[in-house]
Amino acid sequence: MNLSDLKIIVTGGAQGMGAHFAKRLLEAGASVAVGDVNEEKLAELPEGIHRRRFDVSDPDDIESFVKWAAESMGGLNSLINNAGIIRDGLLVKKDRHTGEVVKFPKKDWDAVIGVNLTGAVFMVREVVAYMIENDVRPGVVVNMSSVARHGNRGQSNYVSAKAALAANTVTWAREFAPYGIRFGAIAPGLVDTPMTQGMNQAAREAIAKMIPVGRPGTPEDLWLAVKFVLECDYFNARTIDVDGGAAL
């Protein structure tokens, strides 16, 4: 699809990669609607981007947001499923000082699964339902997975969500091909964003040292991959690793 033909939602688009994608899409002539819980950062987006506070972990809010976005843009034919959070920790660990066995808290599991997986799944449900009901074609969805989907210490919740998104990219490509809707996934490695800047710094530095190109990624690096998926009508049902050659 031509970028200028897109009427696209970007979730988690108030900052980081999502904000960069939204700005690039606007520059290319696309109609863009952004949702995020961070109202302060939403207000900083360029004029011309439709924006609204939006909690992707709330299925009712998803339904309302998708309807609002379609009305605001005069249609809807694409989605970047970008919203994500991290709540890292070992599933079970033994305190080195007290010997106490500590179990990973369910609230941190629920938070990450709620945003990174359940929210992403229900976003696809509502966006695809709109496209089918309104006979919109072609359509395209980009799911933001992660190289962590292969497994990464201390990220059981995040790994579970991102692996499921990559697998469902194949599932949905097969389910919705009859309606002219493509699906692709992008799997970033370490990218310099507000989310990764909040990581444990020792862990972040250790990951950075394993990147053969010698640096973390930038939002622009990831935009080039997202742009490819949006524009290439022959790309479907696959996940692209954009990680500088790193292996977790």
Residue 130 is a catalytic residue: no
User: Which residues fall within 8 angstroms of residue 151, CB to CB, at 6 or more apart?
Assistant: 159, 248
Q: Which of 130, 158, 179, 234 is catalytic?
A: 158
Q: Is residue 107 a part of any domain in this protein?
A: yes
> Is residue 248 in a domain?
no
Give me the number of domains the chain comprises: 1
Element (H, E) at 79: strand 78-81
Question: pLDDT at position 39, please?
Answer: 97
Whether 117 and 110 have beta carbons less than 8 Å apart is answered as: no
**Spatial distance between the Cα atoms of 240 and 248, rounded to a whole number of angstroms:** 16
Strand, helix or coil for residue 151: coil
Q: In what order do the strands lie in the sheet with 139-144?
A: 50-53, 31-36, 7-11, 78-81, 139-144, 181-188, 238-242
Asked whether residue 161 is domain-assigned, the answer is yes
CATH of the domain at 140: 3.40.50.720
Query: Is residue 138 in some structural domain?
Result: yes
Domain interval for residue 151: 3-242
pLDDT value at position 54? 96
Is the residue at 171 inside a domain?
Answer: yes
CA separation for the pair 47, 201 (Å, rounded): 35
DSSP 4: G
Per residue of the chain (248 residues), give pLDDT as tens.
999 999 999 999 999 999 999 999 999 999 999 999 999 999 999 999 999 999 999 999 999 999 999 999 999 999 999 999 999 999 999 999 999 999 999 999 999 999 999 999 999 999 999 999 999 999 999 999 999 999 999 999 999 999 999 999 999 999 999 999 999 999 999 998 877 776 667 776 777 778 999 899 999 999 999 999 999 999 999 999 999 998 65
The tokens for 193 are: 């964003």
Inside any domain, residue 74: yes
pLDDT for 201: 72
In a domain, 247, yes or no: no
- In this structure, the strands spanning 101-103 and 139-144 are unpaired
